[in-house]
Amino acid sequence: MPATKPALPGIQDLEEIVVSESMIKRRVRKLGEEIAGAYPDEEITVVAIINGALLFAADLLREIRRPIRLDCIRVSSYRNETRSVGKPEIVHSLTIDIANRHVLLIDDILDTGKTLSVVVNLIKKLNPASVKPACCWTRKAGAR
């Protein structure tokens, strides 16, 4: 994909746009359909990793069209850098009980997998019925 200079104010330092708005919308719509199909008659407990997944999670939840309980978890892995540095740390954990619940873990970009691994391990210790991750994009492979 050729480098494109962004036309949006406030992001002039951005070298290129890797994922277009239309690509994101298509991915969110498709992922929402897949998730709704995986939980046809069940309420889903969604855990969004913030700050990164906040907007993606909001858009995705609009597409799922199932009963949902939502909680957020905050993880620090970038620490003011543009690349992951060190082991991710849980800054703010869950506030709802997820025992025996089907948990959908939402993150925006799967980069090294370290953050997702730390959060999945934490969630598994809380005895959910199931835990499945959902990511919009992978840094290396592009859309799934």
Q: Name the residues annotated as catalytic.
A: 111
**Separation of alpha carbons 44 and 30, rounded Å:** 17
The torsion of the CA quartet 75, 77, 78, 84, rounded to 10 degrees, works out to -150
**Separation of alpha carbons 64 and 28, rounded Å:** 10
Question: If phi over 0 gives left and psi between -120 and 50 gives alpha, with beta otherwise, what is residue 12?
Answer: alpha
